Chains A and B, each alone.
Chain A
Amino acid sequence: MCASVKYGSRGPALIPRMKTKYRIYYITLFSVVLLGLIATGIYYITLFSVVLLGLIATGMFQFWPHSIESSAEWSLDRRSVHDAPLVRIPMSSPIPERGDLSCRMHTCFDVYRCGYNPKNKIKVYIYPLQRFVDEVGVPISSTGLSREYNDLLSAISDSDFYTDDVSRACLFIPSIDVLNQNSLRIRETAQALAMLPRWDKGMNHLLFNMLPGGPPDYNTALDVPRDRALLAGGGFSTWTYRQGYDVSIPVYSPLSVEVDLPERQPGPRRYFILSSQTAIHREYRVELERLKEENGEALLLLDKCSNLSQGLASVRKRCYKGQVYDYPQILQESSFCVVLRGARLGQATLSDVLQAGCVPVIMADSYILPFSEVLDWKRASVVIPEEKLPEMYTILKSIPHRQVEEMQRQARWFWEAYFSSMKAIGMTTLQIINDRIYPYAALTYEEWNNPPVVKWTSVNSPLFLPLIPPRSPGFTAVVLTYDRIESLFRVITEISKVPSLAKLLVVWNNQNKSPPEESLWPKVAVPLKVLRTKENKLSNRFFPFDEIETEAVLAIDDDIIMLTSDELQFGYEVWREFPDRLVGYPGRLHLWDHEMGKWKYESEWTNEVSMVLTGAAFYHKYFNYLYTYKMPGDIKNWVDAHMNCEDIAMNFLVANITGKAPIKVTPRKKFKCPECTAIDGLSLDQTHMVERSECINKFASVFATMPLKVVEHRADPVLYKDDFPEKLKSFPNIGSL
């Protein structure tokens, strides 16, 4: 009894994994057995049987093979494409209009469907698969759904773009495969498109096509009439491509997955130019052979192998004078690889060439290069007019070696990011359309074109414009203090003498004690404001207070009384010339400790500087924002918890984002233990300095790089220590001890 209750209570936990039909079967079985037993009145046996059966049943549920583990996926997934519903197209079914060449996003695209969206991401709907046949039952396509198109749709449905809600969709993708026009019945395909429930003149529909046109004239865009549908096509010419509407995509090469070509280090290769295409027009082959005669071994001209048997073997082999080469492996042996147009403009060879890290030399007049809307092909390829084929060698020779290496790297990266799979091609296409619909959230040139290694090392400073801000608004001094009133007042009095001081902010970090009465503060000419903080944190000094109305901030400790007014004013003047850097007084250095194998903090008299202390430093208010809201990792918390290294953190932050070293101004002075943070008057002990070395190591690991830059210079007034009357110098009182 109890047992049965117990099993019963476990039931729901187990049962959900069973399919309904199995459960009904078992329940019926139990019920029949139970009722039978009850009827015979054999109680104990009944009880025993019930328990036993219960056990058996439970055991069975648990260890039954997966086939009874129901899942929603099972019914949907384990299907064959041949299970897709059959749709018969009536003969008289309407045919869409031929694509309109004047279509643009603002004329043929319904932007209201996409709407305002905080994520700035378009929603894409994929029609369920159907098998279209004409009235007599002949399919509209000889291949039906191809593996590539299936991969593409599958990738889109896995992506963030996907929605299953037709009414929320901004873009519709038919499941009718039109990648290769040769396998299509044009008229019937067009009719099938028009039958799609949301077709609506093709508005917001996207078709993918890689091999357009057919013999003899090979149109450069898909011949299937498609109303206003967008076309992602391989092999557009400038006359069929609707700029800003269509998307030019690559012709996918299945070799991308079949052959694994490991990335090779950029550098000179065995051959300079390689031609591997088999379908080159005779006129061009003659030209190429002439080039080969002139330049000999530098060129390798490959062709089909005539003596090999047909089939896979022959598509993966190339020959030159009886010598057999493996394709595409041979592409890795050349610096440049020729990609000439054939009857079609788009060539799958381009993908193979990029994969091999060979720089494509593209000769296909009027060809719209894949993803040219966003990719800068000049950095990965050489485009030469077909007419200039005879000059190819001279043109390529004029490219500097280092640039060729860059191009090799860039070519390989383009392949990896945008060519390597149907997923990559599909996602890039959708991202391009997304960028058009939400242009204010579009990816930047750098995001599209910089390979990861460049992205990692390159710097795009948020304050990139070379500006020397005017002197007039001055700077805001932010004094961090705890309770050293006397010293604080001296600092305030000193700073107030600086001509460009605009405002004084005192960050009162002591929660247990109120700041002195207003009447006790020194009288200064500029506004002075005391800001009381909620917690005694070091990061308070870098908070972007609204009260800071100037660009320039002078962070200063409450014990820095030794800086003269000239020194401070000069520091401000130097900051104006370097508004994107930290400009400070005491400089510090980081060093690599070879014995310990880690970074070390150095405060001795060194010939180099990589940090300035923020106990007295000018910087842009923007860095306050960065420090408070964009500091990577847990650095900010760590600094607050340890009451140390806030200045090192700031140096890391600024150097990392600008790629520039700080500027130390004026000669070294006797700073009274600047490393000791003002708070609590911590004593200069060894542990404190050890901790600062630890900070450098910790921060370097959080930033995953060492952003600090070492320099050997400091800034002094032009006439510093020059033999010149002091009173005529702008900043005479510099460097006094």
Chain B
Amino acid sequence: MQARKKYVLLGLCTCCWLLLYYWGGLQERLLGLLTHRRGEVVRPWPNWLDRDLLPGYADQAELQNAGGPGDSPRQRRQSWAGIYKDSRCRMDTCFDFARCQGQSSFRVYIYPPEKGERVSESYRKILTSVVESRYFTSDPREACLFVLGIDTLDRDQLSTQFVPNMDERIRGYPLWNDGRNHVIFNLYSGTWPNYTEDLGFNVGQAILAKASLNTEHFRPGFDISIPLFSKEHPQKGGERGWLVRNTVPPRRKYLLMFKGKRYLTGIGSDTRNALHHIHNGKDIVSLTTCRHGKDWEKHKDARCDHDNQEYERFDYQELLHNSTFCLVPRGRRLGSFRFLESLQAACIPVLLSNGWELPFSDVIQWNQAVIEGDERLLLQVPSTVRAVGTDRVLALRQRTQMLWEAYFSSVDKIVLTTLEIIKDRVNSHISRNKFMWNALPGGLLVLPEYSTHLAHYPFYYLNLGISPGQEFTAVIHATSPLVSQSQPIMKLLQVVSKSKYCSQIIILWNSEKPPPHRSKWPPMPVPLIITDGRRKTSSRFLPNAAIETEAVLSLDEDTVLLTSEINFAFHVWQSFPERIVGYPPRSHFWDPVKKAWGYTSKWTNEYSIVLTGAAFYHRYYHHLFSHYLPSSLRALVDRTSNCEDILMNFLVSSVTHLPPIKVAQRKQYKEMPILQVRPEIHPKKVFLGHCFMSDKGTKMAPWANPEHFTQRQECVNTFASWFGYMPLVHSQFRLDPVLFKDHVSVLRKRYKDLERV
């Protein structure tokens, strides 16, 4: 009995064991399945046993041989020109680089307009931009690039501006040469119903600068996509972007908006017809109207009346101001006015234009400024833009403004950008890199002839994670002959050379008399270089190869400064290397009576100019001054021997959009008597003019001439009209040493000299 019990028990145990095994097995199988699956997810491509035995894809000899030396390069180049032309044009095959060699290599010629030729407003602006650019030439022999005198902007046969018989007329140009080295500007091509890329004449090997370019027809590295702009687009200057502040959170009242035409039929109608689907009347406003064209009622559908009603409820300008994103769908053509409008309005464009080669796509990184949508995925657009984070909205929005102001705000900028892109291709080894094109202040203000190295420019220190150099070069502008050792310039030389940051001194000799012998100058702890300024006022801002430091201290010969003042200003400049840092301030103002800009040297609570008779700035501005500004402005400066400092302030502020910086300076009352006779100061005003420094020399300097001040007034207006706007910006502070005039022992103060009178 007991034994049987035991056997039963034993049997049960065995069963249990078996069951457990069985259950375990089941579990293992489940587990195995799981791990098997997971294993496949983690490592689905097998780790082959014979991985190490696999052959290389090519052996070393084959790789280094690379198919052998190939055909004769000379023959290849010749045969290419025959094969790769017209729609397969590239700079290598369709552009004559030989025309662009020599000193002034890049020159643009415009064919003279024929009598009775009608040119549209927009094309006239384009031609004006070319003529006023620094690349224009009136001599076709030295030209590298040719621009047609015939208006090619609107090539829609139905348009009133359409010019017929283009082929014939172009063939009449002796230099046409099948379009080689020609640029053809175009905004509208093709016509109803397909709006093809056809211009209605054979463009041959000419470079197309065209709006609404399709990626398929675009000849990469050859054609240039330009934005569609209206005939009201300003010639120069242009409105600034609408973004005045970075509000946080950055979202505006509406998330996404569109207001425009709905095409019921024809090309582009697929997208425009679907836009109403995303309208929710709350944060997404997508309004379309059927009411356009003559016979819209013929195609009218069930939605039209309701849509038209809703359409009237919202104001386009109000939406533009209050929307975070703006839809930019294709119209009949790929590009639309919406693009520039929303760019300017800091409303982040959401593109729905498949196959559109974006404006200046060669150089601009558009994915940092717009949302590139896909027409096929219209319904995903709301969730896509909703998912864009705060930081990205802020960044995108600021970038729209940066691009708008750098490349699009005026016809001048659009044309100049087109020319600069071609120039970069012609001199490919002296060209801007993508960074220069996409970082502030934009590619047009970067002259690669100066340097192709980022660290040589004043704008990129923070982006590169570096700081400006620890030394400066002093450039002293000397106009009076050297007669005594007690002349102000001698004192100045001593003061400047004592600064531990001074690496060299350059004297720019602009006097009638020849420069004195070297031995006449005092011995100096730093190298002293004397260069001839040829008595031109603008010469003080000529690029000088001798300037090796980034910082330049520009000085007049009669400037009175202390070494500690110089050191302090240099420290400040290191914090603001892209601005002018100087001592005596001046200001501009709008005179509503004269309807003109005014200039004042009176003491005011704000300033917009610091005089370059004593100022630090980056040496790159010499280059911009001499090569970016037109020769007409420099000629004005030389003719009047005046205003060069104002022009420099205009230039730097137009680059930075910021005011210059004034730093503390010791009071110098000894100049007072001179100041009283200064014509700059309005006699009716009681407050004596500026005590700090004179604009010009101390003795019978040019400013003593009563015309001097009027000239400066005129300069301000002339400069403003060339820039197309007033770039000067006011500032209300000056920078002083931290303990300046504080109630603390003088011994503690690093710049105690500044407080002595």
Contact = CB atoms under 8 A, between A and B. Distances in A.
Given A43-B7, A445-B434, A281 B29 contact: no
B364 to A, nearest CB: 11
A79 B17 contact: no
A279 B69 contact: yes
Contact of A157 (B3, B37, B45, B88): B45
B57 A146 contact: yes
Contact of A78 (B14, B49, B73, B384): B49
Nearest to A403: B453
B606 A385 contact: no
Given A574-B733, A713-B735, A378 B56 contact: no
Given A712-B737, A718-B662, A72 B32 contact: yes
Contacts of A4: 13, 16-17
Nearest to A147: B54
Contact of A238 (B220, B367, B375, B736): B220
Contacts of A277: 64, 66
Contacts of B743: 668, 737
Nearest to A164: B44
Contacts of B67: 211, 213, 215, 218, 279, 342-344
A197 interface: no
A79 B46 contact: yes
A659 B462 CA distance: 7
Q: List the 4 closest pairs (A to B, CB-CB), nearest first.
A: A457-B465, A343-B67, A343-B70, A403-B453
14 contacts: A43-B6, A104-B216, A104-B355, A118-B387, A213-B67, A281-B72, A342-B65, A347-B66, A465-B398, A577-B658, A605-B742, A661-B575, A713-B572, A714-B737
Nearest to A24: B25
Best-buried of A315, A461, A728 by chain B (most CB within 10 Å): A315
B272 to A, nearest CB: 17
Given A182-B58, A625-B390, A342 B21 contact: no
B68 A279 contact: yes
Contact of B246 (A27, A43, A283, A463): A463
A607 B465 contact: no
A570 B737 CA distance: 18
Nearest to B400: A465
Interface in B211-270: 215-216, 218, 220-221, 243-249
Contacts of B452: 378, 399-400, 403
Given A43-B7, A162-B44, A719-B603, A8 B740 contact: no
Contacts of A342: 65-70
Contacts of A314: 61
B81 to A, nearest CB: 12
B367 A435 contact: yes
B431 interface: yes
A106 B36 contact: no
Given A253-B63, A343-B67, A458-B463, A718 B39 contact: no
Nearest to A110: B376
A384 B428 CA distance: 7
B721 interface: no
A147 B605 contact: no
B44 A38 contact: no
Given A1-B13, A342-B70, A607 B464 contact: no
Interface in A573-613: 573-574, 577, 579, 587, 605-609
Nearest to B603: A724
B63 A348 contact: yes
Interface residues of B, number: 161
Given A343-B67, A445-B434, A574-B733, A102 B56 contact: no
B429 A343 contact: no
Contacts of B296: none
A703 interface: no
Contacts of B526: none
Interface in A159-210: 162, 164, 177, 179-180, 182-183, 210
A657 to B, nearest CB: 11
Interface in B346-380: 354-355, 365, 367-368, 371-372, 374-377, 380
Interface in A621-647: 621-622, 624-625
B693 interface: no
Nearest to A399: B452
Interface in A103-135: 104, 106-107, 111-112, 116, 118, 126, 129
A145 B55 CA distance: 8
Nearest to B55: A143
B402 interface: yes
B281 interface: no
A464 interface: yes
A381 B461 CA distance: 22
B169 interface: no
A347 to B, nearest CB: 5
B682 interface: no
A678 to B, nearest CB: 25
Nearest to B401: A465
A102 B740 contact: no
Interface string B707-749: 0000000000000000000000101111111111111100011
Contacts of B13: 1, 4-5, 8, 50
A244 interface: yes
A437 to B, nearest CB: 9
A18 B428 CA distance: 67
Interface string B587-610: 000000000000000011111000
Interface in B574-624: 575, 585, 603-607
A348 B16 contact: no
Contacts of B664: 716
B134 interface: no
Contacts of B568: 712-713
B245 A150 contact: no
A150 to B, nearest CB: 6
A731 B604 CA distance: 12
Given A177-B57, A668-B743, 14 more contacts: A23-B25, A72-B38, A80-B50, A106-B354, A107-B355, A210-B57, A243-B220, A378-B452, A444-B368, A458-B463, A577-B659, A625-B248, A661-B575, A715-B734
- For A251, A462, A551, A714, the residue with the greatest tally of chain B CB atoms inside 10 Å of its CB is A714
A157 B69 CA distance: 38
A721 interface: yes
B43 A157 contact: yes
A395 B429 CA distance: 7
A8 B20 contact: yes
A683 interface: no
A440 B571 contact: no
A443 to B, nearest CB: 9
A38 B736 contact: no
B466 interface: yes
A288 interface: no
Given A210-B57, A724-B687, A458 B43 contact: no
B13, B218, B394, B737 — which one has the most chain A CB atoms within 10 A of its CB? B13
Contacts of A621: 248
A106 B39 contact: no
A716 B736 contact: yes
Nearest to B17: A8
A290 interface: no
Given A378-B434, A466-B656, A715 B39 contact: no
B194 interface: no
Contacts of B88: 239
Interface string B440-463: 100000000001111110000011
Contacts of A107: 216, 354-355
A382 interface: yes
A325 interface: no
Residue with the greatest number of chain B CB neighbours at <10 A, chosen from A27, A71, A365, A609: A365
Interface string A267-294: 0000000000111111110000000000
A620 B463 contact: no
Given A145-B54, A343-B67, A605-B739, A80 B465 contact: no
